[in-house]
Structure 1
């Protein structure tokens, strides 16, 4: 099974808009949008640009094996007609609205963690200078 990168969650965890990300890594905003929607595959070149700009540790946090749940959700989203539930395991489902809300909340939590880590790093830097 190949690894994949959830570019949207990576971008949101960095607190960036599509325009900001596109400027920082030198790609068109429309291309970023197509990558996030799965209309285009993320190439090694794109991953390399992300590694160069944000480092392996940051990017690799969002690089993962596609779990069965994710594959099922992606299939459901591709077939989604605007209403209904998302199947997550055989016999189980959650409403699409709830699933999207969970993704949004996860992105918000990642922003908070990232900002907290940046503050900790700055404070540690100040302490080291003393």
Structure 2
């Protein structure tokens, strides 16, 4: 009986460096938030569980991006924070490419109840970016636990 020998070629995986701490304004020079707005909930069905924020972001650098983590904060007319969330996008984002994301909120849905859409503002900003060449840039001043 003949034995087959399987040879595996060593294929290097993309190496991601340990996170390099950077300030928020440095990340915003790579991924620019073009728009962040609260788009409400399903009023007819009275489903506050569908509260969403629309975020439009763009790679304004000359490098490809392999991943971005973006934080979203919502505030009322007194500028008090209602709630926040974050999302991760690990799809490649080419230089100059924009993307739109509708992000739902989780357990804090009741904070939006009975608040008109025009009384809630949203802010979004990147807190971590992994570039196409493996750089891992992170703003450690934001806790997303």
- Indicate the TM-score class for this superposition, using the shorter chain for normalisation: under 0.3
TM-score, length-scaled by structure 2: 0.21
Q: Which structure would you say has the larger Rg?
A: 2
TM-score, length-scaled by structure 1: 0.22
Q: When you count helix as a share of all residues, which structure comes out higher?
A: 1
Relative contact order, higher structure (CA 8 A, sep 6+): 2
